[in-house]
Amino acid sequence: MLETTSNSGSSTAGVALFRIQAKLQKQIHAVPSGSQLILEAKNWRFYASDAIAPAELMKLKKEVIAYNQFAAPVADSTGIVHITKGHATGDGSPNYKYHAEWSFGDETTYSFEATTTVGLTQFKSMLSSFRPVINLLDQADVVLLPTTQIIRVQEGKRDFLLSNENKKVPIAASVRKIKGVLYIPLKDVVRAIQGNMQYVTQKNGSFMYLSQRNNMKPTKLNLKTGTVYRNEKKLATYSLVTDHGTLMVPVTALSKLLDVQADKINTENKTMNMTYTSWYTSNTMSSESADAQYQVKVFSLVGPSFEYNNTALGSSNAWEYAGSKPPKGYSPLKYEVSTVHIPLVPGSQNRVELQTNDGQMKIVQSVNSTIDPNQVPFQLNPLPYLDGLNMNVQLVSDAERAWKGGYAEAVKDVMIRGDLKGSSMNSLRLNYKYVDKNGKVSTSNLVNIAATDQQFSYTLKPEKGKGTYIVSLVSPPKSYPLADQVTIVTFMVVFK
């Protein structure tokens, strides 16, 4: 049992094996006199009681050093651990009790105590899992972390053991072997991973559509043939069984149906573990922005573990982010807060997407950009050797309206004009990425634009139809060292 105690001193009733406590105090309690310092590292000190014999102390010291070689017990903290003599184990080997206190430099001190004898490995694994109680959504707009669910089943039993919760749940039919193959009720696996399933009758047969939590890519199961499809692509075919109205599938089918991986069955106790890895997410993303770029802060694994785009501007593999340290208590070797900036189109057609790198989970947010279209800036290349180039680009639509920034709207054409002062170039090249109303992207070939007296002009027409054109002006070949072409400036034109 784990006993928790608040600052008021109230606690749960019962015999506690472990006790954790938080108090509003800056100072960590003093170590009892006579205690021996056996290790000081990474702002943590480890003390041992003087009742521990010298031979035991040497062995204990080696274990403590080994377990603290790479990281402090709790990241970004200062603390102590006091080790006292415990009862010997059944084989006569020594055992110890542990008491730890730590803080993150604020007003709160945390303590964790093993009230009975435990091994160092068990104590440290529990200690290193503690973090300060904070609301991550105060630190980031999105929390995006991987989670793993382990489901234990036993042949002949009519329940699952959800290992993370140490909880048994009843299932619709017993797990059993049929012709040497282990079968399991499909709907109970879906429920255990918090997925969804839907029965659909079509002209060509009956199907079961299965989707994982937060997953945008459902799997289709043909209930007559046992064939599994994803994105209309055939993955595999299995023999299906019905047990008193309950659909049973081979455990080997779960990897294709739901990305659930099954271990080999233990022949002695007939148990087997099934592992499901997914993503936990929570977010407070805004549905409105007054800026040309939408800023999102994401708490996730270092990397980051996601990609992002605005479908109104088409997806792109070229994206940037700025990573920063996570909140106190979370290791910067594993976690970070990524700040990303996603360009927006004025209006409500923006659809911001964050998708995990493995494609399993996607967060979608519709965003209305209230920015004045004339305030959308030109996107300039920050390369140092372009600093002296002032092109004075201007966009003039077919209604003879001159747009002041890097955005224009038109029906038939837009005149792009400017100059090349501050450079030796006498021409430019232009290309664009076209995005239709469904987010489908196509690109153009480079078009040469000649300059007269270092001034240029070009009339852009909606050759691919109505939609958004993301236009780039590019340097001619060999204008700059080590580059055949350099994108100088980018802007948007919307044909309506």
d(CA 448, CA 473): 10
CB 159 within 8 A of CB 169: yes
CB 112 within 8 A of CB 20: yes
Position 241 scores a pLDDT of: 94
Q: What is the mean pLDDT of residues 450-471?
A: 91
Position 12 scores a pLDDT of: 43
Residues contacting residue 152 through CB under 8 Å, at least 6 positions apart: 160, 161, 163, 271, 272, 273, 274
> 240-261 pLDDT, tens per residue?
999 999 999 999 999 999 999 9
Highest mean pLDDT among 7-21, 278-292, 479-493: 278-292
- Residue 137's pLDDT band, with cuts at 50, 70 and 90, is confident
Position 366 scores a pLDDT of: 95
**Domain annotation for the chain: domains and CATH numbers:** 2-133 (no CATH), 146-279 (3.30.457.10), 288-371 (2.60.40), 376-495 (2.60.40.10)
Compute the mean pLDDT over every residue in the chain, rounded to the nearest whole number.
85
Q: What is the mean pLDDT of residues 277-305?
A: 90
Encoded amino acid at 66, one letter = A
> 398-446 pLDDT, tens per residue?
978 889 999 999 999 999 999 887 777 888 999 999 988 777 888 888 8
Residue 7 has pLDDT above 50, yes or no: no
Strand partners, 18: 2, 114
Highest mean pLDDT among 68-77, 133-142, 409-418: 409-418
Position 9 scores a pLDDT of: 46
Residue 88 has pLDDT above 70, yes or no: no
What does residue 456 show for φ and ψ, rounded to 5 degrees? -135, 160
Residue 174 has pLDDT above 90, yes or no: yes
Determine if the pTM surpasses 0.75. no
Residue 395 has pLDDT above 60, yes or no: yes
Q: What is the mean pLDDT of residues 320-324?
A: 79
State how far the alpha carbon of 289 is from the alpha carbons of 137, 294, 341, 343, 367, in Å: 19, 6, 12, 11, 7
Residues contacting residue 423 through CB under 8 Å, at least 6 positions apart: 388, 389, 454, 479
- Residue 215's pLDDT band, with cuts at 50, 70 and 90, is low
| DSSP one-letter code for 136 | G
Helix or strand (DSSP H, E) at 125: helix 120-127
Highest mean pLDDT among 79-83, 320-324, 380-384: 79-83
Highest mean pLDDT among 172-186, 207-221, 411-425: 172-186
Q: Which residue has the tokens 């002695």?
A: 268
- Residue 133's pLDDT band, with cuts at 50, 70 and 90, is low
